Structure 1
Amino acid sequence: MTLDGSLTHERYGAELLAETDALRAALRAGDLAATVPTCPDWSLADLALHVGGAHRWAGALVAVRATENIDPAGIPGATGPDDVTPDTLDAWLADGADLAVRALREAGPGTAVWTWSPVHTAGFWARRMVHETVIHRADAALAAGVPFEVGPEVAADCVEEWLQLCALPAFAEHLAAKGEPLFGPGRSIHLHATDTPPELNAEWFLDLSGDRLLHRRGHEKATVALRGPLTEVLRVFYRRLPADSELVDVVGDRALLDQWLEYATFG
């Protein structure tokens, strides 16, 4: 099993810093006590603490070349600043991303590090932390009422990574445990970004006709198609935007798309 990304290790580091800066800007524009609509158990402050804690946890795993998981409670600063204010939270987020990127750059992509995936490398964490930050930045932007955009290369890689994770055997077992008939003959989904250049190939075909997910890039007729700007397709696919939004079009068997969105989650 591979979880190959389309960006270089150095690029992932740069994007992690840039995405964290954009997240910090969204947080500064909002009320830290506000509820996050797409994560209703969290306030904006809770969301920031989650993301910053993930950065410090991943950075610590890479820095010590961990061969097993590390309890975040034992990582200095991982639970947040001592006194959470807009200023201390902002500085804490910036410092955590910087620590993570320095550890990732020192290690290089191929260094062996524990991960929860079948791929045990520092490169996994570089890519995962970028996309973790992208998606939670979407949450923060919604809560703060500010625009959300993602560069096309990062957005396409974010979709691709999610599909690769969904194709892991553990995910198929997760779906089977729910007892839902997601897979079956003639069932497929097509994702089609309408605002990207052809060379990006921002289209995906999800084959659900067997007993597990198979996916590939390209334009193919499917049972249902989700079409729209890449940022909005990404948001729908991660359940950060309703599929009935006027920003996207759904053509075909809407029930199948809804079923995928409901059950294609590790939550």
Structure 2
Amino acid sequence: MTYLAHERYCAEIALQVEQLRGLVTSGADLSTTVPTCPEWSLEQLVRHMGGALRWAGTMVRNRAQEMLPLDQVPLGGGPEEKGDPAALDAWLAQTGELIVGALRETGPDAKVWTWAGPASSGFWARRMAHEITIHRADAALTVGAPYDVAPDIAADGLDEWLELVQFVQRTGAREWPAELRVPGRSIHLHATDADPALNAEWLVEMGEDGVTWRRGHEKATVALRGPLTSVLLAFYHRLPLDTPGLEVVGEREVLELWLRNSSFG
């Protein structure tokens, strides 16, 4: 597995926190239901995201060798004030400083417990960068704000998502991977707006032995084409396949099968 530079993830987390704070203080109703995570309100989404950042940051700073209970993370559930944008914003700002500071202080190679991948602080830099990238999209969709993400982060986010699907399939953490063992079926993801040097194309194959994938332009049973940000969000269940700008070519039901059976929610 190939990571971006550690500092790139740190900088992206800091940027995403700043952008999420902007949505919190935009005047939006914090009680609004998040359409892509309907079990949460906007405030609950933000508290979840900030809590995850604090949890990961605390583990990295302490170089934890086992999972840290969330109740041991100071203010892991958010500020005491409910429905207060200013309090939520201040908490989120401090949260960003805490995790980015911890990641920069330790560097990518510190030994830290993780639930998948290498047991290092570098894992958490990457995981939290993509966690907040997607949850900021949830928040932006909730308030009707525009959303975009840097191409290198979006492409790496697709890589990581495919790696996580393989992890779940390998460990048996969920039942759904069995449904993805469909010999002879494959998916091609094609970002139509990306610099060719980024190689923002993927082939995902669903064989009897599990899911495999690689970067590159290859024919598949079905292709999902469109702007890189839109492809990322559709593959993450955040945009419908009929979103303007997206195009499905080939056997749409294969892509729908994947989407039904590749969610950790």
Does the TM-score normalized on the shorter chain lie above 0.5?
Answer: yes
Amino acid of the structure 2 residue aligned with 1:21: E
Residue 109 of structure 2 aligns with which residue? 110
Q: How many Å separate the matches in 1 of 2:253 and 2:11?
A: 39
| Structure 2 stretches lacking a partner, 5+ long | none
Q: Deviations over 1:20-55 (max 9, x none)?
A: 111111222221111100000101000000000001
Q: Does 1:28 align with 2:25?
A: yes
Residue 164 of structure 1: how far off its partner (Å):
1.2
Alignment of 1:68-217 (within 5 A): 68-84=66-82, 85-168=84-167, 170=169, 173-174=172-173, 177-178=175-176, 181-217=179-215
The answer as to whether partners of 2:55 and 2:73 remain within 8 angstroms in 1 is yes
Q: How many residues align?
A: 263
Cα 1:169/1:144, change in 2 over 3 Å: closer
SS at match of 2:134: helix
Cα 1:32/1:40, change in 2 over 3 Å: same
Q: Does 1:257 align with 2:244?
A: no
Residue 45 of structure 2 aligns with which residue? 47
Amino acid of the structure 2 residue aligned with 1:47: L
CA RMSD in angstroms comes to: 1.4
Q: How many Å separate the matches in 2 of 1:172 and 1:220?
A: 28
SS at match of 1:167: helix
Residue 10 of structure 1 aligns with which residue? 7
Residue 241 of structure 1 aligns with which residue? 239
Q: How many Å separate the matches in 2 of 1:150 and 1:215?
A: 23
What's the TM-score once normalised by structure 1's chain length? 0.95
SS at match of 1:239: coil
Residue 69 of structure 1: how far off its partner (Å):
0.5
Q: Does 1:60 align with 2:79?
A: no
The answer as to whether partners of 2:24 and 2:88 remain within 8 angstroms in 1 is no
Q: How many Å separate the matches in 1 of 2:121 and 2:35?
A: 32
Structure 1 runs of 4+ off > 4 angstroms?
A: 169-172
Residue 165 of structure 1: how far off its partner (Å):
1.2
Q: Deviations over 1:98-124 (max 9, x none)?
A: 100111111110110001113100000
Q: How many Å separate the matches in 1 of 2:37 and 2:168?
A: 27
The answer as to whether partners of 1:27 and 1:144 remain within 8 angstroms in 2 is no
State, as a whole percentage, how many aligned pairs show the same letter. 51
